[in-house]
Amino acid sequence: MKREKMTKVMRMKIIESALQEFNDKSYEKASMNHICQIGNISKGIIYHYFKDKDELYLECVRICFEKMMEHYATRDEYNMEIYMQYRISFFKEYPHLRGIFFNTLLRTPQHLKREVAIIKKDFNELNLKVFKNALNHVQLRENITYQTALEYYNIMQNSFNDYFCQKIEEGIDFDEIIHQHEELLLKWFDMMFYGIVRKEV
């Protein structure tokens, strides 16, 4: 096997082992030693290809979000229901990325937030595009501007995820948190969009 091909194979072996570790555990609980055990790789080999745990973690996050965006790229326009259907189908096709996605969404390492935000940029823009598409099909109330609606979306999205971050701190099982997050997302979007109180005429 040529040296260049061997290098590519070894790098992929490290990444596959790291994907498994970061999918099963948060960044804080993931272990470089366990990644070595998963792939039967020496720590020296890992550090030959990746500077540290941060760099390896960010590579796994990048792969996760690139794969997700490739999945969404098969369709030009989404409403919220179709968006969620594609999200569900993505995790069925790539179950080994589910934990990485939700760990990144709900418990990004504090010191890597800037780097992760750059990686998530296209994903965040897709989410905004879905919301804008929904706005384009309704008439806003007289006292609500388009820009105000977008600001409200950002506030509510952050609040939604913060709610589940709090559940993590309370020690609730992470798989249960993921289940609740996805189960409530469409309901949350509907309530955010149309409100919870019937306006009296």
List the pLDDT tens digit at each of the 201 positions of the chain: 566 666 889 999 999 999 999 999 999 999 999 999 999 999 999 999 999 999 999 999 999 999 999 999 987 777 888 999 999 999 999 999 999 999 999 999 999 999 999 999 999 999 999 999 989 888 998 889 999 999 999 999 999 999 999 999 999 999 999 999 999 999 998 988 888 887 665
Tell me the torsion sign for CA atoms 135, 140, 144, 146: positive
> What is the CA angle 76-73-84, rounded to 5?
80
pLDDT at 194 (0 to 100): 85
Cα 43 to Cα 70: distance, rounded to the nearest angstrom: 32
Q: Which of 58, 21, 54, 57 is nearest to 37 (CA)?
A: 21
Query: What token pair was written down for 179?
Result: 């289940």
DSSP notation for 27-66: TTT--HHHHHHHHT--HHHHHHH-SSHHHHHHHHHHHHHH
- Tell me, what DSSP letter sits at residue 104? H
pLDDT at 198 (0 to 100): 73
Q: Which alpha helices (DSSP H) does 107-173 contain, by range? A: 113-119, 121-135, 146-169
pLDDT at 30 (0 to 100): 97
pTM: 0.91
pLDDT at 75 (0 to 100): 78
pLDDT at 199 (0 to 100): 63
Model confidence pLDDT, tens digit, residues 78-103: 788 899 999 999 999 999 999 999 99
Cα 174 to Cα 186: distance, rounded to the nearest angstrom: 20
